[in-house]
Amino acid sequence: MNKTRAIFYDLDNTLYPQESDIIQRIDHCIRHFSLEPHEKIRQFWINEWKDNGPKKPRLIETVVDTFSLPVDADLVIGQYRSFVTHLSLPDSSSDFLLECKKRGLLQFLITNGNFVTQQNKIKALQLEQFFNQIIVANGEYAKPSSFWFDHLLTINNLDPGSCISVGDWFEIDGIASEATGICFFWINTGPVHETVHGNAKMIQKLADLSRYINYDI
């Protein structure tokens, strides 16, 4: 077994549970636009997100259409993305990241999404202290493209066999990881419903990765 030299991470529902972030954004939009009936809208919106929400690119449009809301969906999307939420990293995640940093492992964060939205979350979670590089991937370079995985392997002179990757969405994170030959670990506690295939390994939380890391030379 190769010594583990680097770990590639996803952000949402991998380093922290995203539900709090989502609910804060929903509550802000309902307040900002004075949406009524607010409780029904809130519950519908939350339930839609919990049921495979990350796979629903038009979720906000669905909310607006379902309740015939007198507001432009694009305006709601703008408020939703730009709102700065209050987040904290679970102790188990911060302890794991710090231990890996102390052990000298390279740590890379690659997250898809709106640049401002993701950067605000990264700042709120105070993640810069743990990572050698943080990338918000978009367009043709967004996961499941393996572009950023290949790039980081090359510039850091890393062998894929000495790396592991972790995320909550196999069709995005897992495909990108396995395309480069990196072993992928799937955290299956988020809202995404999917059938995981390939050589992915299932874990319940980030700290579970510790049993698979080989620190020995």
Q: How many helices and strands (H and E) does the chain possess?
A: 8, 6
Q: Is the pLDDT of residue 217 over 60?
A: no
The model's pTM: 0.95
Q: What is the DSSP letter of 134?
A: E
Q: Which amino acid is at 85?
A: T
The confidence band for 189, taking pLDDT boundaries of 50, 70 and 90, is confident
| Encoded amino acid at 130, one letter | F
SS3 209: helix
Domain range summary for the chain, segments of one domain joined by +: 6-16+88-212, 19-82
pLDDT at 109 over 90: yes
Residue 1 has pLDDT above 70, yes or no: no
Higher pLDDT, 188 or 68: 68
- Express each pLDDT in 30-56 by its tens digit: 999 999 999 999 999 999 999 999 999
Peptide linkage before 70 cis (omega within 30 of 0):
no
Residue of 134, 135, 131 lying closest to 105 (CA atoms): 131
List all residues 6 or more positions away from 161 whose beta carbon is below 8 Å from its beta carbon: 2, 181
CATH superfamily of 6-16+88-212: HAD superfamily/HAD-like (3.40.50.1000)
Q: Is the Cβ–Cβ distance between 187 and 167 less than 8 Å?
A: yes
In angstroms, the CA 29 to CA 75 distance is 10
